Amino acid sequence: MEKLKQSDLYTLEHYARIRGEFRDKVILHKKDRRLALGEHAALYFEDRLTMQYQVQEMLRLERMFEPDMIQAELDVYNPLIPDGSNWKATFMIEYADPDERREALSRLVGIEQAVWMKVEGFDPVRPIANEDLARSSEDKTASVHFMRFELLMPMIAALKSGADLSAGIDHPNFSVKVMVSDPVRKSLLSDLD
């Protein structure tokens, strides 16, 4: 998947005019990019459109228009765009109540290593998590982790031929397995060249 360039972005003025329409497009797109893993966790799969939206919003909020500042934002977000043989996702542990969330994060240390994706007929793929910085300590994990799932070419071929896709978590304090729905599966297939 092609990385974003400055020429792919809208100017601040143009973005102000189309922001509502663009946001609606991204929200609709993201609907098929979220995979719930039980009641309190989800993978939000990133791609070129989700990252363009993120960059556009950052430029808008920070009123950035200098080319070097724009490039710095692209350098931060481009690594979250899939490379054609992987999925990149934001993994979130989601508890609305702060006390409940704090307690959960203390018992879910290492959960980022317990997440998996599985193509039918192959072993589960564990993520490469938090390549930018560590997000867990001995006492607690973070509520947000960034993950990359690297797929082998035979896995990609199997998916394109209709193989089922499942996902889950096998942490001692959080265990779940789900089948990936057809709309999410189809969206994820578009990330694979």
Whether residues 91 and 180 share a domain: the answer is yes
What average pLDDT does this structure show over 36-49?
97
Residue 41: its pLDDT value, please?
Answer: 97
Whether residues 67 and 114 share a domain: the answer is no
Judged against a pLDDT cut of 70, whether residue 55 lies above it is answered with yes
* pLDDT tens, residue by residue, 160-188: 999 999 999 999 999 999 999 999 999 99
Whether residues 120 and 72 share a domain: the answer is no
Confidence class for position 14, pLDDT limits 50, 70, 90 = very high
Whether residues 91 and 76 share a domain: the answer is no
> Domain of 11?
6-31+48-80
Whether residues 63 and 92 share a domain: the answer is no
Confidence class for position 58, pLDDT limits 50, 70, 90 = very high
Whether residues 126 and 173 share a domain: the answer is yes
Give pTM, 2 decimals.
Answer: 0.91
Whether residues 71 and 159 share a domain: the answer is no
How many domains, in total, are found in the chain?
A: 2
Whether residues 105 and 177 share a domain: the answer is yes
| Residue 93 neighbours by CB distance under 10 Å | 20
Residue 133: its pLDDT value, please?
Answer: 58
Residue 147: φ, ψ to 5°? -130, 150
What average pLDDT does this structure show over 56-74?
93
Whether residues 109 and 169 share a domain: the answer is yes
Whether residues 92 and 173 share a domain: the answer is yes
Residue 135: its pLDDT value, please?
Answer: 59
Q: What proportion of the chain, given as a percentage, has pLDDT over 70?
A: 96
In a domain, 39, yes or no: no
Whether residues 131 and 66 share a domain: the answer is no
* pLDDT tens, residue by residue, 116-146: 999 999 999 999 997 665 656 678 999 999 9
Instruction: Report the mean per-residue pLDDT for the chain.
Output: 94
In a domain, 40, yes or no: no
Whether residues 96 and 124 share a domain: the answer is yes
In a domain, 158, yes or no: yes
Residue 1: its pLDDT value, please?
Answer: 80
**CA–CA distances in Å: residue 180 to residues 37, 44, 149, 184, 190:** 10, 13, 15, 6, 15
